[in-house]
Amino acid sequence: MFTSIAIIGRPNVGKSSLFNKLTKSRDAIVSDYAGLTKDRNHGFINLKDKKTLIIDTGGIGNEKEKIKQAISNQAWMAVEESSLIILLFDSSEELNKEDIEIIYKLRKSNKEFITVLNKIDKKSDSSIKEDLLKNGIDNFIEISAEHSKNLNVLKSYLEEKVPNNYMDIQDGKKVAILGRPNAGKSTFINKFINEDRLIVSEIAGTTIDAISIPFEFNKQQFIFIDTAGIRKGYKYNHKIEYFSYVRAMHAIEQSDIVIFMCDAQEGLVDQDLKILNMIIENGKPVLFALNKIDLISKNNLKKLYELKKMQSEFISNLVKVEISAIKKKGFKKLFQLTNKLIDTSQQKFTTSMLNSLLKKFISLSAPPAVRGRQLKFKHVHFGGTCPTTLIIHANQDKKIPNNYKKYLENSFRSKLGLESIQLKLIFRKSDNPYEGNKNKLTGRQIKKRQRLIKHNKKTKK
């Protein structure tokens, strides 16, 4: 079992700011809005030249609302699974009843914890230091996470406390889960890893951050990235929803594949198509997972596939899998496809094979002539992954008809087995091998040429 460090405290004391600074990332949303972090968010901090897992948690409170109780429970679960705790306070505020309850509950857990006072850059007459002394805490570190003050002191202290015999954490294949709110993304992850890892609620939009969860499947290391559901009109709604969208896009960039989850009961809607388009524009492979199939009949499922949106070229190129997250149906097939698509998306193709295919495609459908000039495709070579990029050299690059470009794209996609993999064709104009060998005209020849041009213009008039 590897060592992990949890950051806990009341809402809005700066836990996510500290998490971002220690992990040198922007994985946790930071805002003045209290209670923004809901689930546990994992990241890594380098201590003793090794990666140590660090967990950002939601604010602990004693509210009676179910969702806020769930947030507090998630934080205490993080305490249970960690070997070292950072107990964070806002140094500009007084110690209150909630803080004292956290201190006493933490002591009962028998976990070693470090007391950290954040926001020391704020001017305040707070007596929090004296109150901590009264409650038996006489050793604490003062920092400003926002301005990176004394973070090196904190890191040095963490290095002293972290044991030497912990496991090094390997990077895994990153799988982002995307979809509209309440499509069942968090339920799917919880059921797949057999742990109540994420808060599941009927309230749409419970997940806000992009949450990373490491796991193992068939002796391979993976990381699930659960993202916030992207709502319609996210750009114009509350800034939290906009930040959630930004985090989801960041998760796409970090991922090796995106599993797009669609609610089978609601079917494919315009917002789903917009989200899919975002994923495709980022060049990532996408697996279309139709969730909640246990809630619809076979007849209705058949009708769903017969809809125009499902039969469009945009969707027909995607690999589809039917699952029920709540009943764990279709998980094995889904992950076999996920693994296969990751490997295919990272595959490189030889120049000889690509040129052989290009020659075959041209022989089956000859390139058209453009403005009297016959299109000639010279050669093609591999250009990169995510998206799979092929660079085709031709005698023209800007005048190639779109329908012929589409023909080449579909042909390469079919022969290379790139279903659900983004394919990008780049057309470049080939260099003229004789361009540098042209004879240069002398000054006398240039003047003679100009006289001939003027003479021709006069005769035409």
Please state at what angle helix 15-23 crosses helix 151-161, rounded to 10 degrees: 80
Q: 380-434, pLDDT tens digit by residue?
A: 999 999 999 999 998 887 788 999 999 999 999 999 999 999 999 999 987 655 5
Q: 127-158, pLDDT tens digit by residue?
A: 889 999 988 888 899 999 889 899 999 999 88
Q: Report percent pLDDT > 90 for the chain.
A: 30
Predicted pLDDT of residue 286: 95
Q: 161-189, pLDDT tens digit by residue?
A: 876 644 444 468 889 888 888 888 878 88
Residue 452 has pLDDT above 90, yes or no: no
Tokens 């006289």, residue located:
451
d(CA 263, CA 180): 8
Q: 312-353, pLDDT tens digit by residue?
A: 887 888 999 999 989 989 988 998 999 999 999 999 999 999
d(CA 213, CA 225): 6
Angle, alpha carbons 288-292-298 (nearest 5°): 95
Predicted pLDDT of residue 2: 46
Tokens 């895994």, residue located:
172
Q: Which domains does the chain have, with CATH numbers?
A: 4-161 (3.40.50.300), 173-345 (3.40.50.300), 352-436 (3.30.300.20)
Overall pTM surpassing 0.75 (yes/no)? no
Q: Which of 183, 239, 182, 175 is nearest to 210 (CA)?
A: 175
Q: In 10 A of CB 169, how many CB atoms?
A: 17
d(CA 390, CA 384): 8
